[in-house]
DNA sequence: GAGTTTGAAACT
DNA sequence: CAGTTTCAAACTC
């Protein structure tokens, strides 16, 4: 039961060639404490080299030493950005494909040595040779459509993996999407541990029967990126597979059951569409509980008696879905430590999957697009950064791995219009953890739709309303009529958890065309992100939150001085304690063209919101300004031409 | 399951 | 930039 299935391939997502700045994911192996030797590396391609522990324990925890990381990255055109101390790395490379390829080779070499050392050990628990981990079971997947280094698992891996997987002790209460292993459908299995790990794999098709559905690993354009590592064989996260068994027929997403205790924590995995997660909070499901594990960032969590996982949020990069997850997490404003330790053993994370998405889709979207070819935002799959799966009822679907180029091109095209098109629709922020702890009366969550709804007839009481659908109240950003949103009416001074979302400054700026707006897509001023041109530079010393990380990680983990990013990292997330920016996410890293991004908010100059008062703590507190990951540059005519006929046709 | 409603996205 | 059209999800019957 404690034997790790060596046949579980470990996939390394190195992100795409345009992957700009955020590590694909951050499953980290703490070799210090790892007795097992499945070397999940920390950044997709990077991996541990030494140590041949037994397979009985995997501890995902800490980054390897900086030197180690640097050593591996240096010379591959990877930029390793680390904070002064630790736990923050950002890769960027113009030649990630190459880097990935090299990493792949390294991985293989590593696995070979590992396999040789461990094969005997594995054989003891299972005589099936297939359980031996093979070098080829390790994948370094580069999302680049041009990257020839997308390595595929051996065809026999699935069978082996499934067999081995069946032998695993299914203690992990995962829920995933419903897709028979042999359905032949593409599948996605994403595991996000407490917002830390989003695992995916990119496996070409159709030969990769190991994976049923893969996530779109979009480039980092916008803030919507999926960097997920999946176990194509068993649809279980490589690092978790030993102890995790997906529920039958659920292969696309998996949730880890909320940890019953701080010590026994396996973070739920979110692979479903982001905004739907917001329902969690409203339906009484304590997302806080669900993600409490991550708030215990750094704490070793044990899912399996023989498996210990340690998630280090700081080191993880997540995609859009993860960001949404993070947003949700943030919405609860749970202190990273201390205040957030109240776990709810009974947190029905699985129910979320069932009630919200899993009931029909197993946590995954199934679109029914007929004309959009699933390459427009009409398509929920596409909008969510997912490839369509066989269960989709779409017609003429091009949102499939085999059309990756087209998909990416379409995405670029959309992002060229609206760099935030793929950004989470529901933005959630939180007060600094410490403040929450200090003032327990404060609303723990704040959330809002990034753009606001425009409902006319539904009164924001139906899922037509994106705010309602996202489980958030309407805000002054909305232009809805007759709002009756049960999560908070637009006119409510302090909708549930939405206190102070709309700042007074917004009204001020609304009268100034040049002034930055808290409107996504208008984050530029004078050619610079207004966070740069307007917002005062936040001294690193003032940054306390998960600064320099992808938005996903905001406020979840207690900030550490050591995690204060270098100035270049300020591009992504900024915790400003001085300015009057509200606690909203300010996606500001937009190209100048982004100003033209369609944003209904631009049309509206909201009257003073008398009801919106900044809480004392807010006024005196730090302001969280989450800035999007730099988006793709506006496409030029040439670039559009490069998109190919499929996109041109759109 | 078919038809309608709705509002976001896309288009002009 | 505003208005219109297209689209697909949500909803109703």
Residue A351: burial class (beta carbons within 10 Å; 0-12, 13-18, 19+) = middle
pLDDT (tens digit per residue) in A298-334: 333 333 333 333 333 333 333 333 333 334 333 333 3
CA distance A157 to A211: 10
Contacting residues 18-37/A vs strand C (CB within 7 A):
none
Rounded, the Å distance between the CA of A168 and C1' of C5 is: 54
pLDDT band at A429 (very low <50, low <70, confident <90, very high): low
pLDDT band at A471 (very low <50, low <70, confident <90, very high): confident
Whether residue A267 contacts residue A294, with contact meaning beta carbons closer than 8 Å, is answered with yes
Q: Any atom of strand B under 7 A from CB of A604? A: no
Contacting residues 437-466/A vs strand B (CB within 7 A):
451, 453-460, 462, 464-466
Residue with minimal CA–C1' distance to C1 is A603
Cα-based distances in Å from A621 to A131, A489, A564, A583: 54, 25, 18, 10
Q: Would you state the pLDDT for residue A136?
A: 36
Inter-axis angle of helices A96-125 and A66-73, nearest 10: 120
Tell me which DSSP letter residue A313 carries: G
Rounded, the Å distance between the CA of A247 and C1' of B8 is: 34
CA distance A89 to A572: 13
CA distance A598 to A583: 23
Which strand B bases fall within 7 angstroms of a protein CB?
A: 5-11
Q: Would you state the pLDDT for residue A109?
A: 55
pTM comes to 0.40
Q: Would you state the pLDDT for residue A385?
A: 86
pLDDT for A54 beyond 50: no
pLDDT (tens digit per residue) in A490-521: 776 544 444 434 333 333 333 333 333 333 33
Rounded, the Å distance between the CA of A259 and C1' of B6 is: 40
Q: Any atom of strand C under 7 A from CB of A369? A: yes
Rounded, the Å distance between the CA of A603 and C1' of C3 is: 13
DSSP assignment of A178-247 equals ---GGG------B--STTS--------TTT-TT-S--B----SSTT--------TTTSS-TTTTTTEEEP
Q: Any atom of strand C under 7 A from CB of A596? A: yes
Report which secondary-structure segment, H or E, holds A323: helix A320-332
Q: Any atom of strand C under 7 A from CB of A464? A: yes
Whether residue A124 contacts residue A172, with contact meaning beta carbons closer than 8 Å, is answered with no
Report which secondary-structure segment, H or E, holds A82: strand A81-82
Of A175, A170, A155, A230, nearest in space to A197 by CA: A230
Contacting residues 209-268/A vs strand C (CB within 7 A):
none
Mean pLDDT, residues A208-231: 40
> Nearest nt (C1') to A458 (CA)?
B6
* CA triple A299-A23-A584, angle to 5 deg: 80
Q: Would you state the pLDDT for residue A132?
A: 41
Residue with minimal CA–C1' distance to C7 is A378
pLDDT (tens digit per residue) in A600-626: 333 333 333 333 333 333 333 343 333
Domain boundaries, chain A: 10-361, 424-627
Q: Residue A464, Cβ neighbours under 10 Å: how many?
A: 14
């Amino acid at each position: 039961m404690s034997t790790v299935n060596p046949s579980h391939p470990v996939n390394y997502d190195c992100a795409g060639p345009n992957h700009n700045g955020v590590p694909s994911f951050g499953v980290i192996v703490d070799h210090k404490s790892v007795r097992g030797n499945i070397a999940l590396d920390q950044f997709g391609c990077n991996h541990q080299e030494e140590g041949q522990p037994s397979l009985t324990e995997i501890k995902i925890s800490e980054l390897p030493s900086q030197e180690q990381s640097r050593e591996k990255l240096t010379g591959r055109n990877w930029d390793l950005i680390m904070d002064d101390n630790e736990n923050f790395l950002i890769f960027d490379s113009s030649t990630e494909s190459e880097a990935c390829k090299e990493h792949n080779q390294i991985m293989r070499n590593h696995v070979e040595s590992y396999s040789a050392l461990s094969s005997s050990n594995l054989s003891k628990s299972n005589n099936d040779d297939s359980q031996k981990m093979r070098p080829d079971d390790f994948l370094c997947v580069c999302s680049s459509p041009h990257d020839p280094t997308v390595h595929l698992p051996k065809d026999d891996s699935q069978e082996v993996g499934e067999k081995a997987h069946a032998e695993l002790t299914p203690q992990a209460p995962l829920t995933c999407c419903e897709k028979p292993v042999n359905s032949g459908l593409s599948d996605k299995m994403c595991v996000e541990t407490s917002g830390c790990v989003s695992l995916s794999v990119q496996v070409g098709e159709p030969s990769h029967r190991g994976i049923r559905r893969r996530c779109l690993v979009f480039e980092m354009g916008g803030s919507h990126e999926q960097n997920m590592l999946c176990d194509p064989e068993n649809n279980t996260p490589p690092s978790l597979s030993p102890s995790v068994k997906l529920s039958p027929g659920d292969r696309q997403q998996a949730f880890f059951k909320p940890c019953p205790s701080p010590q026994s924590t396996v973070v739920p995995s979110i692979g479903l569409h982001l905004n739907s997660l917001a329902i969690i909070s409203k339906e009484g499901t304590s997302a806080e509980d669900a993600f409490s594990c991550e708030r215990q960032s750094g704490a070793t969590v044990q899912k399996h008696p023989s498996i210990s996982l340690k998630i280090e949020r700081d080191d993880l990069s997540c995609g859009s879905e993860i960001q949404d997850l993070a947003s949700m997490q943030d919405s609860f404003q749970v202190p990273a430590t201390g205040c957030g330790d109240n776990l709810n053993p009974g947190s029905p994370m699985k129910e979320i999957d069932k009630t919200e998405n899993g009931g029909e889709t197993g946590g995954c979207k199934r679109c029914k697009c007929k004309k959009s070819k699933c390459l427009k935002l009409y398509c929920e799959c596409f909008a969510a950064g997912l490839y369509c799966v066989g269960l989709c009822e779409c017609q003429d679907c091009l949102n499939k791995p085999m059309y990756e180029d087209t998909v990416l091109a379409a995405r670029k095209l959309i992002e060229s219009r609206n760099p935030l098109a793929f950004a989470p629709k529901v933005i959630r922020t939180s007060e600094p953890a410490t403040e929450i702890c200090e003032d327990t009366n404060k609303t723990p969550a704040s959330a809002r739709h990034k753009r606001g709804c425009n409902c006319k007839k539904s009164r924001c009481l139906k899922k037509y309303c994106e705010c309602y659908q996202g489980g958030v109240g309407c805000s002054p950003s909305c232009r809805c009529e007759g709002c009756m949103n049960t999560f908070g009416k637009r006119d409510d001074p302090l909708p549930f958890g939405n206190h102070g979302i709309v700042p007074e400054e917004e009204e001020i700026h609304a009268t100034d065309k040049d002034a930055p707006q808290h409107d996504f897509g208008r984050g530029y001023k004078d050619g610079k992100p207004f966070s740069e041109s307007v917002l005062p530079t936040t001294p690193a010393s003032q940054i306390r939150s998960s600064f320099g990380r992808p938005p996903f990680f905001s406020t979840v983990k207690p900030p550490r001085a050591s995690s204060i990013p270098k100035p270049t990292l300020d591009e992504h997330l900024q915790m400003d304690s001085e300015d009057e920016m509200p606690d909203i996410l300010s996606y500001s890293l937009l190209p100048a063209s982004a100003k033209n991004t369609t944003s209904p908010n631009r049309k509206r100059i909201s009257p003073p919101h008398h009801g919106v008062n900044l809480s004392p703590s807010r006024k005196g507190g730090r302001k969280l300004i989450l800035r999007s990951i730099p988006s793709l540059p506006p496409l030029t005519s040439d670039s559009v031409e490069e998109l190919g006929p499929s996109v041109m046709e759109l």
